[in-house]
Structure 1
Amino acid sequence: MGERSDEDCYEAFGDECREDVRVILGLADDDSFQDFWTKLREECLKVRRSIKTSPNGFRLARFDMSLTQRITWLQRNVLHPVDRLESALADENRPNFVHWEDMLQKRRGPYLPDDLDAISSGLVELKEQVRDLVYSLQTEKDQNIKTTDEIRYYIVYNAIWDLHEYFPDFPLSRGSWDPEHKQVGILPDYVRRVFLETTGEHERLDGPIKLALEDVRKSQRKTT
């Protein structure tokens, strides 16, 4: 299967992908499969939207940045300027925003002191959100987590777990090893098809599939 461009005129996780997944898995087109497909589709479309709207290494993304670069950018371009703005909007500086003639002629501009209170409140909320984001990014950086790898694993794990949840008797097998094509089998083909539709890119995913299967089996033991 070739790689898709995001500009291609097709519906992600539409009928074509649904039929591909059903045929690969060899499942009947019944209510169980429809329920499974609905959940898988909704989850993968959320991931696809996240890929398109956040920095990562997939081509659907507008750009990629390392965790360190993102932290630095947020600090320099948001947190530090917000700190300066908050100081500028302090009560003792409010007269700077009022012109005496406007007050005399009862012309109310958009930035009189009462309006600045709402702006200050918004800045506080913005700073809190960005600080939370920086904390999350720093935690991932400390754990040596790379965003693109994390997304890749998330897609693979969810694809396998959703299949196991709706079809618990489906064998969780990586298939067989082929010297030319490496890992081949029903489960890898299914995961790769879902991954292609989610990211627009075709990858072998042998490592993520192996790791995800181990984690799914661990989760399975915990729930039994």
Structure 2
Amino acid sequence: MSDLGSFDDDWLLEFQRKSGITDEAALKCLQRDLQVVGKHYRRVIETTPCDLKGSPFNKTLTQRGDWLQSNVINPASRLLASLADEQKPWFSTWPYEKQFDQFPDRERIKADLEAILEFSTLLQRSLRGEQSWDAATNQELRFYIFKDAYAAVRKNLPDFTPKQSIYAELQDEKTKRFVDPFSEAMRHIYAEITGIDEQLVRLIRMVIQDPNWDL
């Protein structure tokens, strides 16, 4: 997985073949910009629950919010309550004092727990907010990868624009894809970051209908 998102020279040659672009200087600038995009999204993918290659695991926003509630927020809240000053007698070690070191620094522990609780509560609130907007990590991540890749293409290859193209059914498949140099090039960029060859029909149709949609 470590090679994904590298946008090396072999990748660039294939991009040149698919796109038909011959401007070597512009292609090199695009390559550098895409390497930044690729590095960013590989870090995101490799640390975020999603269905893309190299992710730690795939969980929905609901599952993540529920996990935080059950495994972090509730236990941290209970532990904080247990460490309150009035609960100290529960930790009495008499008559076993010689078997115990001093109890760990309560104030430091409570401060750490409060920070964890604040972080987890805010994260859960953000996840629930995404749910209310009917968002999903897998779809949202695809959108932003495509958006930033398209921005790099617009910046470095301003004349390489999406056009109405052939919409063809793939041989031996029940899916369709746009068949033209721009669509092939965008899928080539996307696959380099995600490791997945997807048709990206909805996203490509979006830029065909409005090439300035991301501005």
Alignment partners' CA distance in 2, 1:86 and 1:200: 44
Identity among equivalent positions (%) equals 26
Structure 1 residue 69, shift from structure 2 partner: 1.3
Select which of 47, 50, 54 maps to 2:41: 47
Report if the CA contact (8 A) 1:192-1:202 is conserved.
yes
Select which of 160, 163, 181 maps to 2:150: 160
Unaligned runs of 5+ in 2: 171-175
Report if the CA contact (8 A) 2:50-2:59 is conserved.
yes
Is 1:33 the counterpart of 2:27? The answer is yes
**Residue in structure 2 matched with residue 145 of structure 1 by the alignment:** 135
Report if the CA contact (8 A) 2:207-2:213 is conserved.
no
Select which of 213, 218, 223 maps to 2:213: 218
Alignment partners' CA distance in 1, 2:58 and 2:97: 49
Structure 1 residue 54, shift from structure 2 partner: 1.5
TM-score normalised according to structure 1 size: 0.80
Report if the CA contact (8 A) 2:147-2:214 is conserved.
no
**Residue in structure 1 matched with residue 65 of structure 2 by the alignment:** 71
Unaligned runs of 5+ in 1: 1-5
Is 1:61 the counterpart of 2:51? The answer is no
Alignment partners' CA distance in 2, 1:189 and 1:52: 26
Question: Secondary structure in 1 aligned to 2:24?
Answer: coil
Question: Secondary structure in 2 aligned to 1:122?
Answer: helix
Select which of 177, 182, 198 maps to 2:193: 198
Structure 1 residue 24, shift from structure 2 partner: 2.8
Alignment partners' CA distance in 2, 1:62 and 1:190: 28
Question: Secondary structure in 2 aligned to 1:156?
Answer: helix
Report if the CA contact (8 A) 1:102-1:108 is conserved.
no
**Residue in structure 2 matched with residue 3 of structure 1 by the alignment:** none
Structure 1 residue 80, shift from structure 2 partner: 0.4
Structure 1 residue 212, shift from structure 2 partner: 4.7
- Let me know the Cα RMSD of the aligned residues: 2.7
Alignment partners' CA distance in 2, 1:179 and 1:202: 15
Structure 1 residue 206, shift from structure 2 partner: 1.0
Report if the CA contact (8 A) 2:4-2:195 is conserved.
no
Report if the CA contact (8 A) 1:89-1:116 is conserved.
yes
Report if the CA contact (8 A) 1:157-1:209 is conserved.
no
**Residue in structure 2 matched with residue 18 of structure 1 by the alignment:** 12
Alignment of 1:91-170 (within 5 A): 91-97=85-91, 99=93, 108-109=101-102, 111-112=103-104, 115-170=105-160
Question: Secondary structure in 2 aligned to 1:177?
Answer: strand
Structure 1 residue 174, shift from structure 2 partner: 5.3
Question: Secondary structure in 1 aligned to 2:213?
Answer: helix
Select which of 71, 74, 78 maps to 1:80: 74
